[in-house]
């Protein structure tokens, strides 16, 4: 049976936003590649070489963001079946979006290596992306339909509850990958929405991704379910995680529903072996931050400085990258 942990709001902790920068590509729009002039729908972020790498859930481009000046370059991913790289209801191709919602740096062989996962919230969003980047700046991209992996994850009801929705992934530096499940599904078949974290072996996952038709998907080793608390009576649900030594920093947002898109606020918290503590994110002007955090990563030299991205679901405006400071006893 899955362990259950109730997160507690901790008044000793605080999260203060220091800076917000819209992510616009340095070389602007590129119609030939079907690339807009800005990052759309930022959905996760990770360290990658000397950059911060941002994935998007409705555009087939990776954004490489300089840490100091937040200048943005792009790496195109393969286009969709219609030859397009941007997906929307207006274009009539929304069903082709990859919905990449989680990414993490994992060990490579003589190169930087990124693993990015689709949400799996329906069968069109079962993609796994891997990117390798060598010391000379050359990159290799592999995008695969991982239907066997996602089909297996849906059978693990303690992990996915009423509906699968992977929003975060972390690597422990050894051999454990942790998947963060967002509990925002409608009740189904007697099951409720579940926020949870599941552990799988990176070795086993890598073998499956190398030979998906021959090697079975990695089995879940452990599941922990969470009650993450509320902001303004709206449940907080996971949006990402980050491994920091023996702790896991996480982000969560309180979204009223997918129909209203109302965001009551966002939080960051810390997961330890038997507990979870969190604080609401405070905006530049001192008010509660009302954005929906989609991904976070800590600064390489300071775990109390955080970069995070949000998705405002406004296609014609750029997603922003934020820098924030954690204060208080976060890493006890």
Residue 245 pLDDT more than 90?
A: no
pLDDT at 284 exceeding the cut of 70: yes
pLDDT at residue 269 is higher than 80: yes
Q: Find all residues with CB under 8 Å of 284, minimum gap 6, and list them.
A: 17, 18, 19, 20
Task: Please report, rounded to a whole number, the percentage of residues in the chain having pLDDT higher than 70.
Answer: 99
pLDDT surpasses 70 at 274 = yes
pLDDT above 80 for 210? yes
> What percentage of the chain has pLDDT greater than the value 90?
87
CA terminus-to-terminus distance, the chain: 28
Helix pair angle (147-155, 202-210), 10° resolution: 140
For residue 273, is pLDDT > 80?
A: no
Instruction: Tell me which residue has tokens 């966002």.
Output: 266
Residue 38 belongs to some domain of the structure:
yes
pLDDT digits (tens, 9 = 90+) for 249-261: 999 999 987 666 7
Q: Number of structural domains, the chain?
A: 1
Select the more confidently predicted residue: 300 or 326: 326
Q: Residue 245 gets which letter from DSSP?
A: T
Q: Are 294 and 312 in contact (CB under 8 A)?
A: no
Q: What pLDDT is attached to residue 258?
A: 61
Instruction: Indicate the burial class of 182 (C-beta count within 10 angstroms; 0-12, 13-18, 19 or more).
Output: buried
Instruction: Please choose, from the candidates 73, 67, 17, 87, the residue with its C-alpha nearest in 3D space to the C-alpha of residue 285.
Output: 17
Condensed to tens digits (0 to 9), the pLDDT of residues 141-179 reads 999 999 999 999 999 999 999 999 999 999 999 999 999
pLDDT band at 18 (very low <50, low <70, confident <90, very high): very high
Interval 43-101: pLDDT, tens: 999 998 889 999 999 999 999 999 888 899 999 999 999 999 999 999 999 999 999 99
Which pair of tokens denotes residue 93?
Answer: 């191709």
Residue 77 lies in a domain: yes
Q: What is the pLDDT of residue 288?
A: 96
**Using one digit for the tens of pLDDT, what is the confidence trace for 229-241?**
999 999 999 999 9
**pLDDT at residue 259, rounded to an integer:** 60
In a domain, 109, yes or no: yes
Rounded mean pLDDT of the chain?
94
pLDDT score at 285: 97
Q: Would you report the helix, strand and coil content of the chain in percent, each value rounded to 5?
A: 10, 50, 40
Q: How far apart are CA 165 and CA 125, in angstroms?
A: 10
| 222-227: strand order across its sheet | 3-6, 222-227, 195-201, 176-181, 166-171
254 lies in some domain: yes
What's the half-sphere exposure (Cβ side, CA atoms, 13 Å) at 86? Answer: 18
Distance CA 306, CA 298 (A): 4
CATH no. for residue 284? 2.115.10
- Count of H-run helices and E-run strands, the chain: 3, 24
For residue 97, being part of any structural domain is answered with yes
Please report the pLDDT score of residue 311 as a whole number. Answer: 81
pLDDT given at position 142: 95
Distance between CA 66 and CA 73 in Å, rounded? Answer: 9
Look at residue 122 and tell me if it is in a domain.
Answer: yes
Q: How many Å is the maximal CA-CA distance in the chain?
A: 54
Beta bridge partners of 169: 179
- Average pLDDT on 25-48 reads 95
Strand partners, 114: 105, 131
Euclidean distance between CA atoms 329 and 326, whole angstroms: 9
| Residue 332 maps to a domain | no
In a domain, 315, yes or no: yes
Residue 117 domain boundaries: 4-327
Strands 100-106 and 112-118: antiparallel
Q: In DSSP terms, which residues pair with 145 in a beta bridge?
A: 127
């Amino acid at each position: 049976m899955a362990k259950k942990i109730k997160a507690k709001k901790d008044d000793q902790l605080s999260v203060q936003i220091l800076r917000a920068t819209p992510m616009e590509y340095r070389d602007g729009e590129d119609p030939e590649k079907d690339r807009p002039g800005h990052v759309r729908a930022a959905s996760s972020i990770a360290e990658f070489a000397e950059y911060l790498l941002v994935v998007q859930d409705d555009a087939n481009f990776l954004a490489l963001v300089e840490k100091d000046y937040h200048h943005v370059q792009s790496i195109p991913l393969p286009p969709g079946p219609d030859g397009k790289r941007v997906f929307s209801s207006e274009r009539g191709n929304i069903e082709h979006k990859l919905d990449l919602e989680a990414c993490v740096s994992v060990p490579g062989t003589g190169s930087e290596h990124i693993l990015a996962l689709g949400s799996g919230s329906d069968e069109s969003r079962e993609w796994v992306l891997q990117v390798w980047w060598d010391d000379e700046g050359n990159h290799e991209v592999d995008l695969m339909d991982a239907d066997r992996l996602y089909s297996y994850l849906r059978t693990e009801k303690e992990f996915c509850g009423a509906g699968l929705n992977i929003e975060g992934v972390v690597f422990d530096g050894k051999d454990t990958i942790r998947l963060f499940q967002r509990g925002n599904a409608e009740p189904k078949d007697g099951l409720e929405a579940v926020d949870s974290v599941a552990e799988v072996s990176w070795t086993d996952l890598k073998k499956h991704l190398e030979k998906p038709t021959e090697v079975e998907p990695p089995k879940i080793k452990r599941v922990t379910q969470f009650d993450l608390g509320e902001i303004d009576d709206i449940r907080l649900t996971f949006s990402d995680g980050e491994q920091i030594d023996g702790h896991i920093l996480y982000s969560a947002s309180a979204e009223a529903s997918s129909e209203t898109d109302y965001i009551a606020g966002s939080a960051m918290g810390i997961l330890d072996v038997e507990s979870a503590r969190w604080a609401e994110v405070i905006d530049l002007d001192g008010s509660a931050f009302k954005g929906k955090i989609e991904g976070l990563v800590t600064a390489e030299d300071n775990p109390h400085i955080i970069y995070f991205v949000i998705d405002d679901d406004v296609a014609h405006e750029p997603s922003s990258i934020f820098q924030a400071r954690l204060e208080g006893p976060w890493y006890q």
